[in-house]
């Protein structure tokens, strides 16, 4: 599979995740249904303007569409605090990352016990 087809497949996946048809996306963005179909088929490359619009209007995960790697939660964008925490987490050593992971697991287990 070529890169354009992979991007198209992920674009289709994001559209289906939002429970929208090609026609609904096309109408909302003011493009032809055929254009949407071509983007999803990988026969045309989606423009930056198009990707910006589907991200802002429908919450499509554009980095995922382009790379195949999710960078945010599928349904929700990260808050400013969450984004800051992730950037800080990425800057620390693997040893410290593991310590934080263990700490958070203990906190989550404790919260679970309290809610039962």
Stated pTM of the model: 0.61
Contacts of 9 (CB under 8 A, 6+ apart): 1, 40, 42
Q: Which distant-in-sequence residues (6+ apart) come within 8 Å of 107 by Cβ?
A: none
Distances (CA, A) of 20 to 15, 27, 33, 47, 108: 6, 11, 13, 20, 35
What is the distance in angstroms between the CA of the first residue and the CA of the last residue of the chain? 49
∠103-85-59 over CA atoms, to 5°? 120
Read off the pLDDT band of 86 (50, 70, 90).
confident
Q: What is the mean pLDDT of residues 86-94?
A: 82
Dihedral over Cα of 89, 93, 98, 100: its sign: negative
pLDDT value for 31: 96
């Amino acid at each position: 599979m070529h890169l354009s087809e992979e991007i198209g497949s992920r674009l289709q996946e994001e559209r289906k995740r939002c429970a929208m048809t090609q026609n609904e996306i096309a109408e909302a963005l003011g493009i032809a249904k055929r254009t949407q179909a071509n983007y999803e088929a990988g026969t045309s490359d989606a423009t930056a303007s198009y990707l910006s619009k589907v991200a802002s209007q429908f919450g499509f995960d554009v980095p995922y569409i382009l790379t195949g790697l999710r960078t945010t939660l599928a349904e929700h964008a990260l808050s400013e605090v969450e984004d800051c925490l992730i950037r800080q987490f990425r800057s620390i050593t693997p040893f410290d990352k593991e310590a934080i992971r263990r700490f958070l697991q203990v906190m989550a287990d404790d919260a679970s016990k309290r809610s039962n």
